[in-house]
Structure 1
Amino acid sequence: MSDEDNDRYRAPALDKGLDILELLAGVDGGLTQAEIAKRLGRSPNEFYRMLDRLVRRGYVTRIDGDRFSLTLKLFGLAQLHAPPRRLASFAVPVMRELAEASRQANQLVVFDRGNPVVIAQQEAPGYWGISIRVGSRIGLFDTGSGHVLLAFRAPPERARMIAEHLGDGDADGRVTPEFLARLDLIRARGYETMPSAQTAGVVNLSAPVLGADGTAIAALTVPYITLINAPTAPDIAATTRLVVEATARLSDMTGAGFTSEDAP
């Protein structure tokens, strides 16, 4: 296509919006409207309406009052494309083996547009198990999967995930020093174990599937229940080891082909 054809089919407003998104994608800490204009060589007034629309549509958020930063919405949209399907296809055989070895159900979870979302589910092999439907959106602060997804993200990404989850809500009541210390502990030991906040008698055992850059692209979780009628089933400590081993295998399988850019 010639330069003349390129000019004929230009869409200035779209170009302006894409310029903003591409610029913010390479900046930590966000930029003010004036800084965006300066870097793009334009007048600040040219970007007021565009920034307003990007904020209203959820692609950009305001931080510290006058700075603009990307949300994770673009990553969430990417989850509708090949990476999550490819990840699930890698994971299903490992999840099946985990269910057989542990006698428990398990699920694979990614972060998508403000919430952890179940993208694959493996039933328990026996009569009893806790199942969550594929596509279910679960809590970020009160689930093992949510904790793991936060723990294995860099602080700026973690902050964006929390902001997107809360929307206009106040994070102060959730993001306490104790909560951040728990995330540090999870990262140090490599997994989370916590009583379910939704179902009595269930303990969530969660570990990260890591991309090539060491960032969590997914969490694998066993909602562990004590099987009284299956005395030879692995106990909670043994099941935790099985979960960690399964995620290590998945990390090896996906690490060469996935990075945090493939995750939401």
Structure 2
Amino acid sequence: MAGNTSAPGASVTSRVLAILGSFDAEHRSLTLSELARRSGLPLPTVHRLAAELVSGGALVRRGSGEYVVGRRMWDLGLLAPVQADLRQVASPFLHDIYAATLATVHLGVRDGAEVLYVDRLSGHASVPVVSQIGSRLPLHATGVGKVLLAYAPDAVREQVLGNLTRFTSYTITQPGRLVAELRQVQRLGYAQTHEEMSLGACSVAVPIRSADGRVVAALGIVVASLRRDRPRLIAALQVAAQGIGRSLSAERR
């Protein structure tokens, strides 16, 4: 929530940002009164600015009267270097993995205490997943999220460990157990989940590193079971991640 943006002197820009900032993964669709409450702005102000945002394509007003983020915001987001460059470079590698497995392939970056899905490939034969391009999910319950959490700053890890939400009976909600698993991710070079975000979906993921060794993204795949193909999937992901890392470094020279 944006805070006291209704205070005298608040700029139009800060008010617009407060309205847009009212949306998150748990609040994708909001009524006018909900927008006012979450943004901290007066209802008449929200009504006026929301109408302008709808006119400009930043918001969409559904027939029910609820507002959702418009396509224009997504198009602008794709221009951010971390997403545009990464998606463009990684795309061929994602397509190669998908063609070989027909499983859902994820490309994610850390956005605060969540994983932001920059790209995703899936088909009719893929295991159903809850992720979408542009969506955010918890770091502790997803394969790409665990990779990113393992290499996140201490403050981020502490924030996540203090709020381990349970999504299925298999979600890890014990801080000590998760810390041990994150250490294993750093030691082995990959993370895995077993039905921790949604039932019937297991995942494995690996880090993508920049030229200086920093983890800048994670590449993962979702399957029904990891019992038989885990070594093969890890090897394929690691080769792809190395290729993406090298390509990113070459692009930025």
Q: TM-score range, shorter-chain basis?
A: 0.5 to 0.7
Deviations 1:15-65 (A, max 9, x none): xxxxxxxxxxxxxxxxxxxxxxxxxxxxxxxxxxxxxxxxxxxxxxxxxxx
Match of 2:156 among 148, 155, 160: 160
Q: CA deviation at 1:136?
A: 1.1
1:244 aligns with 2:238: yes
Report SS of the residue matched to 1:127: coil
Deviations 1:132-155 (A, max 9, x none): 3101110111111111002234xx
Report SS of the residue matched to 2:234: helix
Corresponding letter in the other structure for 1:136: S
Q: CA deviation at 1:198?
A: 2.5
Which position in structure 1 is the counterpart of 2:43?
Answer: none
Q: CA deviation at 1:161?
A: 5.7
Which position in structure 1 is the counterpart of 2:224?
Answer: 225
Larger relative contact order, structure 1 or 2 (CA cutoff 8 Å, min sep 6):
1
Report SS of the residue matched to 1:97: helix
Q: Which structure 2 segments of 5+ residues have no match?
A: 1-76, 166-172
Deviations 1:105-129 (A, max 9, x none): 10111111431110101124x5333
Where in structure 2 are the equivalents of 1:65-214 lying within 5 Å?
81-124=80-123, 127-131=125-129, 132-153=131-152, 157-160=153-156, 162-163=158-159, 170=162, 176-214=175-213
Q: Which structure 1 segments of 5+ residues have no match?
A: 1-77, 228-233, 259-264
Deviations 1:152-202 (A, max 9, x none): 34xxx2423653x68xxx469968343222112111111112203122222
Report SS of the residue matched to 2:235: helix
Counterpart Cα distance in 2 of 1:158 and 1:79: 28
Does structure 2 retain, via aligned residues, the 8 Å contact 1:143–1:204? yes
Does structure 2 retain, via aligned residues, the 8 Å contact 1:104–1:225? no
* CA-atom RMSD in angstroms: 3.2
Compared with structure 1, are the counterparts of its residues 177 and 196 closer, same or farther at alpha carbon in structure 2 (3 Å cutoff)?
Answer: same
The share of aligned pairs that are identical, in percent, is: 22
Compared with structure 1, are the counterparts of its residues 178 and 90 closer, same or farther at alpha carbon in structure 2 (3 Å cutoff)?
Answer: same
Compared with structure 1, are the counterparts of its residues 136 and 236 closer, same or farther at alpha carbon in structure 2 (3 Å cutoff)?
Answer: same
Compared with structure 1, are the counterparts of its residues 201 and 92 closer, same or farther at alpha carbon in structure 2 (3 Å cutoff)?
Answer: same
